[in-house]
Structure 1
Amino acid sequence: MSNSTIISQYIPSLSDPFLQIITVILILFFTILIGKGITIYLQRSLKDKMDKEHLNILLKTIYYGLIVVAIIGIIFPLLNIDTSGLLVAGGVVGIVLGFASQSIVGNFISGIFLMIERPVKIGDQVNIDNKLGYVEDIKIISTIIRTYDGLYIRLPNETVFTTSITNYVANLTRRFEYVVGIRYEDDADKAIKIIKGLIDDQPYALVNPSPSVFVDNLGDNAVNIIVRVWAPATEWYDMKTKLLWIIKKTLEKNGIEIAFPQRTVWFASELNTKRIDTEHENNVSIRGTDEV
């Protein structure tokens, strides 16, 4: 049994030409009406989530796709047009194109979901598939990233959609952290007070969430003070690179030095140490006498 016979069981054919014309016009009219309604709804829902150019492509694809489905699936059976050959040919072509363009279709669908979900936006600083940089463009098939070195990388949307994405600026605020090690003989309470004062002087250091400065642990060579500061995501990097050097210089001006690795060697016996020194001096004298 052909496909047209199966469809005709549910959609009766019309023999009167005038009735056929009227029916076809009505079907097209309602199909266009439904397509317009769907596209208007999607345009209002997605206008803030998708780029205008990409949204137009999606709406046109849906609109004309509905018309094609209505013509092949409803109008042709009403006009007694056998679509079995068309469906077979279309199926074969679809299979061939499916294998040939599998990755393209996957990237296209992933691109649509990326534009709807919007985990990243143009201008965001991101880490996608270990590629760090700025998002330059989000297209239907691929996403363009400009690295911090100025290189442009094209990532397939399927890769972007299926891999983990780290967006460094999605949140309005971001925290950075230092470990400041001071000497054991220095006053840790004084150092903490100085660091808190320096943070308060920073115009972009946020009050809420509040900064944290505290002694974290007693290390082998230093008393380690943890410094945690929240800043706007747009000012995070500049503030992080500047504040650490200010802390170091200010602590040193107040007599508090940054500790460095030190080792103290204890000899088991002071007598043995003197004996070694005496033997060394004797050896030097003997060698000097021989040379003379």
Structure 2
Amino acid sequence: MKKHNFNAGPSILADEVIEKAAKAVLDFNGSGLSVLSISHRTKDFDAVMEEADRLFRELLSIPDNYKIFYIGGGASTFFYEVAANFLGKKAGYVNTGVWSKKAIKEAKRYGEVEVLATSEDRNFTYIPKGFAIPEDLDYLHITSNNTIYGTEYHEDIDSPVPLIADMSSDILSRPVDVSKYAMIYGGAQKNLAPAGVAFAIIREDMLDRIVRDLPTMVSFRTHVENNSMFNTPPVFPIYVLKETLCWLKSIGGVEEIYRRNREKAALLYGE
């Protein structure tokens, strides 16, 4: 009997992905080495990174003027890195729960944070809509899905300032118009891979908006210019991420997983 994990932490990966990962732990790509023991600068792992990039772009229809990079850690790392890179004077945040509150706390270390809208008045049981977005903001930050409270943006919002979204728990679960976002980031442990790697999809012009001299590892420019290889990346989680993207493509891509997700949701809400 198949077991399921309904906890709020790392989520169930596809059986095919787990099977391929298990084989790679013993022998990666016929190399005679475990994927846990290979150098990240081998041709075989270069191919993993290239395929992950290609599949991510294909599955989300990511425009050419966007870069993808991976770093160790999780979305919580990005909570302060986003503000460190882009918050010069003032940023806008939408407060929809635990994770957005943590992002707001970290951003306040770097400049003024204006909470443009919040659903805290009703215990975060809805997504605020119709709020004004001042045009003098460095960026607007949203959390697209709130796992603890069960609320999610179902449409991509329009913003007159760069829109940055934490999509940790709903990336690749529904179609997204990437061109509406200046940056999308998240931890991989919900939909993509084991914990240990975080991803970012960033519009190239945002690298010219970095507002301060930063430690090398904190600057997004470092990771873009070095193709996520400035330091040793989380090799195994990235390998599993690539296999998850392969699996997602094999079942019909984002449209198919979105159909399945709506079907599951209808079953639960119907009951």
User: Do both share a fold (TM > 0.5)?
Assistant: no
Q: Whose RCO is larger (CA < 8 A, sep 6+)?
A: 2
**Higher helix proportion:** 1
Max radius of gyration: which structure? 1
